[in-house]
Structure 1
Amino acid sequence: MISCKELNILSKEIKIKNKYKESDAKIKIYGLTAGRGFHWQKEISASYWGSLIIKIYDSNLLVYNEIFLEQYLMCVSTSEMSEKCPTEFLKAQTIIARSWFLANKEKKHSSLGFDICNDDCCQRYHGCNHISSHSIESAKSTRGKVLAHKGMICDARYSKSCGGISEDYENVWQGEPVPYLRSINDYINDKTPFCSSKKIDESFLKNYIGNVDENGKYYRWQIELSKKGIIKNVYKTLKIKIFDITSLVPIKKGKSARIAKLEIRYLNELNKNKSIILNSEYEIRKVLSKDFLFSSAFEIEEVKDGYLLNGRGWGHGVGLCQIGALSMALEKYDHNQILSHYYSNTNIISLYK
């Protein structure tokens, strides 16, 4: 249903101007895909503030949302995690979402004419579906605040669960080391990681994770991959034909035990030994499993007709660990303490009021 004050139809473009009300978004879109390409991919509907521009792109409809930054940020924290999360977590999440946006806008999707997308490729933005007065106030109280390093806005990366140890930036994205995105142990006093199931029981966690996230094991997980399944997915993603896999060999690991480079050794159709090198944690997660692995932090055990992966964490593991930060907030750490724990050599500055 659309309730708007202005509807303009131009050549191959429709613009819908919504009459903005914080408590009553009027534009709802059905059939959106959340978690594109990841194991939690699903179809959702979402309501939006601001204006929508609908264009034809590659035989599909591409929907743009024009919205004020602070309105957008009110929605990000409760798209990434639940509106039931503690206030100090929502404050921390909003500050890093603002920082990440301002550090990265126009970098990923400029060719398509928008700043960032609405999904995990950038950061989750599922409209106003899950906001509350609690989450709105948390965003308003941090208005204009960003994380900074030597006066520059931080590219504040984050993921769902580091698995107990976060990862260095360069082991995930292969760029130069970033001073504030360094590997840390996810604890302060008792050496029990904040994200561990001892700190926050995973049956309890379902109350706080994002609405599109899967209920399951985040801290430690196990999955069995058949050789046939890997062979099929290698062809799907890389267009390389494999007759039989002989071994999976980690070549490089980061401090969190995330595999940054992995070799697939195999026999081709002529029974000759060949190999494929997967050069990033993202590629490893995508190529080994059709459902996209939770993380690349896993040990490999050979079993009949396949491999058993004993893994830890969910996501790339760089920067803030959302489940760890949630655990800290539940233990009454404030947002400043949470951010200083995950981002060394940083401070919070105010860009505007």
Structure 2
Amino acid sequence: LETAAEHWITSSPPAYCHTSDRTFIQQILPDFDQETRDFFRWQVSYGQDKLRAIVEQKLNIEFGSILGLEPLERGVSGRIVRLHIIGEKASVVVGKELEIRRALSRTHLYSSAFVVRTEGRGTVPERFRLMGAGWGHGVGLCQIGAAVMARQGKSYRAILAHYYRGSSLQALYAGSQHLHDERCVSP
């Protein structure tokens, strides 16, 4: 699973949510800012001291130098659900996707779908580079891609069909007159 996740996360396949047109993104996301301009594939780089300060503050544990960030388990979407943070003085397993995202950033990490690259000589890495994919929970619908498709005139049915192939829509309550049992099909 780790090899498959690494291939997916470090590649850049064609997708609606992979756009570099900043003007277009600003039209569909009025609150778009400089820090969140690339949702599809992203990188965060930490020096040893900065990463140690972040995880020690977030987890309230004195790690000493950080020796490694080791994914122990990934979910079906490739997101890390158990991460081993290995330090000189202490080690801890952080579980659940949101807790991992919180532990590795002062603000927020876009997702826990990432791979770790270390740089430096010797047993204590000088730098940790997190190469990640996506933004959010990993349930299969890219919010940015859906917004781009809608802006291009695609219907909600076409958007759902694109992300959830073979799914169907049906009314779940008696008062619904607008939604009938229909299969989602790609246009």
What's the TM-score, normalizing by structure 1?
0.40
Are 1:290 and 2:112 counterparts?
no
* CA contact 1:206–1:215 (8 Å) conserved in 2: no
Q: Structure 1 residue runs of 4+, over 4 Å off?
A: 212-215
> Considering only aligned residues, what root-mean-square deviation do their CA atoms show, in Å?
2.5
| Structure 1 alignment gaps of length 5 or more | 1-164, 166-190, 269-273
* CA contact 1:246–1:266 (8 Å) conserved in 2: yes
Q: Which residue of the partner structure matches residue 300 of structure 1?
A: 116
Are 1:193 and 2:15 counterparts?
yes
Among candidates 60, 79, 86, match of residue 239 of structure 1: 60
With over 3 angstroms needed to count, the CA separation of the structure-2 counterparts of 1:231 and 1:215, relative to structure 1, is closer
Q: Which residue of the partner structure matches residue 281 of structure 1?
A: 97
* CA contact 2:118–2:127 (8 Å) conserved in 1: yes
| Higher percent of residues as strand | 1
- The 5 A counterparts of 1:26-175 are none
| Higher percent of residues as helix | 2
Deviation at residue 277 of structure 1 after TM alignment: 0.7
Q: Which residue of the partner structure matches residue 123 of structure 2?
A: none
* CA contact 1:229–1:289 (8 Å) conserved in 2: no
With over 3 angstroms needed to count, the CA separation of the structure-2 counterparts of 1:279 and 1:324, relative to structure 1, is same
Among candidates 327, 334, 337, match of residue 155 of structure 2: 334
* CA contact 2:77–2:139 (8 Å) conserved in 1: no
CA distance in 2, matches of 1:283, 1:249: 15
* CA contact 1:193–1:324 (8 Å) conserved in 2: yes
Percent identical residues: 34
| Structure 2 alignment gaps of length 5 or more | 1-7, 121-125, 177-187
Deviation at residue 203 of structure 1 after TM alignment: 4.5
Choose 255-264 or 274-283, whichever is displaced more: 255-264
* CA contact 1:224–1:309 (8 Å) conserved in 2: yes
Kindly provide the amino acid, as one letter, of the partner of residue 14 in structure 2: T
Secondary structure of the 1:206 match is: helix
CA distance in 2, matches of 1:257, 1:327: 24
Q: Which residue of the partner structure matches residue 257 of structure 1?
A: 78
Task: Give aligned pairs, total.
Answer: 157
Deviation at residue 255 of structure 1 after TM alignment: 4.0
Q: Which residue of the partner structure matches residue 207 of structure 1?
A: 27
Deviation at residue 326 of structure 1 after TM alignment: 1.9
Whose radius of gyration is greater, 1 or 2?
1
